[in-house]
Structures are given as structure tokens and as C-alpha cells.
Chain A
Amino acid sequence: MHIVDGIVSAPVLLPATVAAVAGVVYGMSRVEAEDVPKVALLAAAFFIASLIRVPIGPASVHLMLPGLLGLVLGPAIFPAMLAGLLLQALLFGFGGVTTLGLNLFNMALPGFLIFYLFSAPLQKASGRKFALLSGLAGALAAFGAGLLVAGSLALSNGGFLLAAKLILLSNLPVMVVEAFVTIAALRFFAKVKPELLASFTRPTLRATS
């Protein structure tokens, strides 16, 4: 899912990077000091989870947790994922430094959109409905991320069209796993630390404070 340096064209790279920078600035402006441990915890979860790769066919896939991060962090998903992606690029050579903005855009934007779509219904839901909505949020966010990665490759170079199709296809099992992980994590949070969800299921942190 990490796009490497030198394979994406500038018309794809630049707008995505600008959008990612805007996302990071917006996300950082919404975080208060007491929220930082949550952001750090989920950044660490993202850092580890997306290092674990499972080979599927000719591609390799990994968890990204965009749904979980989006629902718990809201706009702060951008700085959280930036930290994880930056360290992955510097320590492991995953993705690249020039594609950092694009990778952030591809992985964080679906989570951010999921936050706006699902946070309010999740607040009101309980039991099976809560689990169903959580799973749907997790799967849709993973699908969105896969779609953006495939789209970035296909738009950059027609030669990557096959790769884009394969990425979408290999993303299907990831969606299922993401759905279950999101259900498990959100149910766990709702049970032991409900304020973890409540604090971020507001449109903006400062708007209501």
C-alpha cells in the first residue's frame, strides 16, 4: 500500500501532498494536550500494524486501520499517520520521502471521511448495530484507501493499470480483516474506556469546548 519514490507523476503527487499538508495542519489545530496520548497510542498501533505484511499473490498487503484511527481520532488521523509513515520511510524504506504526502493522503483521507459519516450513528448505536456499523466503517475505510492507492498508480502511468486492479483485488481480504479489527477495538474501547470514543466523536474538539 506504500507507494515508492519515482513511480508516481507530479500531477498526482503534488495535489495529494498539498491536501495532506492541509490535513495535518487542520488535524494538529484540533488537538489539545490531553488528547496527545490517544493520538500517540493509535499512531503506534498504525506504525506496527502497517509493518506487518501478508503476501497475497504478486502483491503484499497490510493492515492500515484507517477506520479505527478515523473514528477515534477524527481530524487528528493526519498527524498520527504522518508520524507512523515518516518513521516507516526513514527506518524501513517503506514508501518514500517524496511520496510521504501521497501515502498519507491515500491512507488518512478515507479514515477522516469515515469519521464524518459514522461517528454520529455510532454514538447512538449499541449491541449488534454498533458492531455492524463499526465493521462497515472499517471495511469502507480500507476499501477507500485501496481505491486511492490504485487510482494514484493508474492515473500516473497506464502501465500500472494491472497493478492497480491487483491492488484492489488483494485489498478485499484486508477489508474483511479491517472490519473485524475495527469491531473488536471499538467494542473494547466502548466497554473499558468509552470516553476514548466520546472525546473524538465531536465534529471538532475546540468548537464545542
Chain B
Amino acid sequence: MSARTAIAPYSNALAGLLRLFLLLCPLLMISPSVSAAHRLSLFATAEGNSISGRVYFTLSAPYKGEVLLFAQGASSAIVKVTSDDEGRFLFEGVKAGRYRVECRSIDGHLAEARVTVGVLQGGDKKGEAKLPMTGAEKSEAVDVNLLRQAVATELRPLKEQINKLEETLWFTQMIGGLGLLTGMFGIWMFFLARKSGSKRRPS
């Protein structure tokens, strides 16, 4: 049997299925704006003494539920709030320090973010000496505080934009996934065809 004859039934089946797939495409390719994937994401930033952010399923479908605030290293939450219809949440009156914001959806999906509130002045590292500050140094520290806040405010839209860009990757990955599937099954088919070919071949 020639190679072309051996491949013919497979290529006919494949052509038929490709036609089916193209017909099914409208059913499968529902607009990403109304559909969303199944992973929970959390975005949080500190401004002054408050921490705000948003919790959502991939592709921006908001998640309404409990959001917890933990001090770094602590296992019990300091406070919990409920995100609104747009998935936004706000913790107010938070003391300076490092925190973990956590949200677990009712079906077990977990998302978290780490946030620093306020400026941790010199001597932050373990064992590092904390020297008393002169008047000039104090005013400089205040400036650093203001600078941090200003930078945080400026960075916030940028971070949100990065998050949105990550979401656009979803579509690319989906197409990539289909390509990978084709490759995986192609390799499987190749080996199966070789196996059945060697069985048919006369010894």
C-alpha cells in the first residue's frame, strides 16, 4: 500500500471534521467581553492609610465577596470587607506596615496581593541600627513619604493597564492552546498510524 493511499482515509476524516469545526465556531467563540475565564485575580495598592483594589475573575468579571486583610506573617485576618458589585474593596485607617490582602471565592479559588502601607524608615532590616534623625533628615523623610504617595498614585493606572494587558494575553493563549492540541493529537495519530501500518505490512 502506498503512503498516499494509507493517509487518504485520515485526510478525508480530517477534512470533514474541519468543516464541522468551522460550522461550530460561532457557537464556541462567544465574545470574550461577555465571557470570562475561571481564575480569580486580586489587585491592591496603598494610598495614605488605606488599601484599595479590585478582585475579579480573569477578563474582568467582578467578584463580589469577602476580602481579608492580614498583617505580614499573621494567620488570622485583621479585618474583612465585602467587595462591591464591581469587585472593588477598601480598607481604611490601616497602620503603617506590610500586609497581605487575600480573597478566596466560595468555590475555593484563591487570589492574594502584598501591600506596604506608609514608609518604613531606616533600620527596617533585621539587626540594622535605628539612628535618631536630625531636623533636616526628618523633613527629608517627610518628602520621601510624599514622594512615595505621589509615585503610588501615578503608578496605579499603569498597574491597572498592565493587568488589562495580561487579560488580552488570554485570547492569544487560547489560540495557542488550540495549536498545542492539534500538535499533541497529531503526534498521537502519527504513532497510531505507524503502529497500524507496521501491523498491516507483510513480513
Instruction: Report A's interface with B, CB cutoff 8 A.
Output: 1-4, 7, 31-34, 36-41, 43-45, 47-49, 51-55, 58-60, 62, 83-84, 87-88, 91-94, 153, 160, 162-163, 166-167, 181, 184-185, 188-189, 192-193, 196
Contact = CB atoms under 8 A, between A and B. Distances in A.
Interface in B78-120: 105-110
Which secondary structure characterizes the binding site on chain B?
A: helix
A55 B109 CA distance: 14
Nearest to B65: A58
A47 B181 contact: yes
A92 B64 contact: no
Given A4-B110, A94-B38, 11 more contacts: A33-B193, A33-B195, A34-B10, A36-B188, A37-B17, A39-B185, A45-B24, A52-B37, A55-B36, A91-B177, A167-B107
Contact of A58 (B10, B16, B105, B193): B105
A166 B38 contact: no
A94 B196 contact: no
Contact of A48 (B58, B106, B108, B174): B174
11 contacts: A2-B38, A4-B108, A40-B182, A40-B185, A40-B186, A41-B17, A43-B181, A55-B36, A62-B38, A84-B181, A185-B24
A2 B38 CA distance: 8
Interface in B45-78: 57-58, 61, 63-65
A162 B106 contact: yes
Contacts of B107: 59-60, 153, 163, 166-167
Interface in B21-53: 21, 23-24, 27-30, 35-39
Place the interface of chain B in its size category.
35 or more
Contacts of A91: 173-174, 176-177
B3 interface: no
A47 B195 CA distance: 28
Contacts of B63: 55
A47 B178 contact: yes
B165 interface: no
A94 B37 contact: yes
A55 B61 contact: yes
Contact of A53 (B21, B57, B196): B57
Given A37-B14, A47-B181, A193-B20, A32 B105 contact: no
